Structure 1
């Protein structure tokens, strides 16, 4: 996806009056403004949803998402020259979520474990057999990128292509992370895989 799509090349060289409301936009061309707001509109909602899944609080999630886009805005013109702009934006979001967690002295596990349960829940009595604490500990064995992929795919119910765009990685990478996460959960929880064997 490209974030430079001016309707008029001459107009694109002129800053808009909108920059007066946002000092960080001062001196920007309309092209840069449009590219920033296109990026913002495309990602704010999923970034907010991801932050909520990680923090469990509307206020904390909004604060993390808002601070993320404040930082992106402040660095946007530099980011436009980056090879992996999407990945850099994702790293900013992750940092702001970590900041919110530190303020609350929370552990680094996601608040909502349902997304992870969806990966291995193929039995009607899953909730009865497996306690929440045991499952939370199992999730703690996943890498941070595996947890991110699971949260996006199963928590926010995004397809793998969208999850990959948000994380700034290839779709194949997301599929691999999901597969690794499921195998690791089955192994830690001592649950037989689909072929009837416990994965090692």
Structure 2
């Protein structure tokens, strides 16, 4: 395989592995799915590497494979209906909850219960668009940089920042927080 394939592999492997582990609930199943995905990509690499939107196409294909694996296990491919979604939400929620909690306490002078807050955020995350959810998971739960998230999803860094900002504001508004105190925290 050419060096461009191995560079692509190095950039996407962790994202694919973590994203599929969250959804499948098993590191072994995730590794198997990711390795199979890269085998498939290797077979079509000569055509794929020259496409201008290769990142977006690969991300979409990868997500279809994750959904296919869930369906093969008899689970709903709709991540909002899986236990994996709850795990992803919990992982993504911690940095967001911290930000919302600090903002709420500064504005209102008291704290709200973590369970009440967490449940509100979980419900609000189920209403995010698929793109918003993916970006929140990649940026906040898996701690990928804006640049890497953009490369993984196949969109511009500015779009990642915009989608993330919109998602964070939607989450804050859905939970009844003022969006004025919500920091973007995306200074990369």
TM-score interval, smaller chain = 0.7 to 0.9
Identify which of 168, 176, 185 aligns with 1:182.
168
Say if 2:59 is the partner of 1:90.
yes
Partner of 2:140: 154
SS in 1 for 2:155: coil
* Deviation readout 1:33-80 (Å, 9 max, x if unpaired): 322222212321222112223333212322321222122112111112
Provide the aligned C-alpha RMSD in A. Answer: 2.2
Output the TM-score relative to the length of structure 2.
Answer: 0.76
* Deviation readout 1:73-101 (Å, 9 max, x if unpaired): 12111112211122222112111111122
Say if 2:153 is the partner of 1:167.
yes
Partner of 1:127: 114
Shift of 1:125: 4.6
Structure ID, larger Rg: 1
**For residues 16-165 of structure 1, what are the structure 2 equivalents within 5 Å?**
33-104=2-73, 105-106=75-76, 107-109=78-80, 110=85, 111-113=87-89, 114-122=91-99, 123=101, 125=112, 127-132=114-119, 134-165=120-151
Change in CA separation of 1:125 and 1:66 when aligned onto 2, cut-off 3 Å: farther
Higher relative contact order (CA 8 A, sep 6+): 2
How many residues end up aligned between the 2 structures?
A: 164
Bigger helix fraction = 2
Is this contact kept in 2: 1:149–1:163, CA < 8 A?
yes
Structure 2 unaligned regions, length at least 5? 102-110, 183-188
Change in CA separation of 1:126 and 1:143 when aligned onto 2, cut-off 3 Å: farther
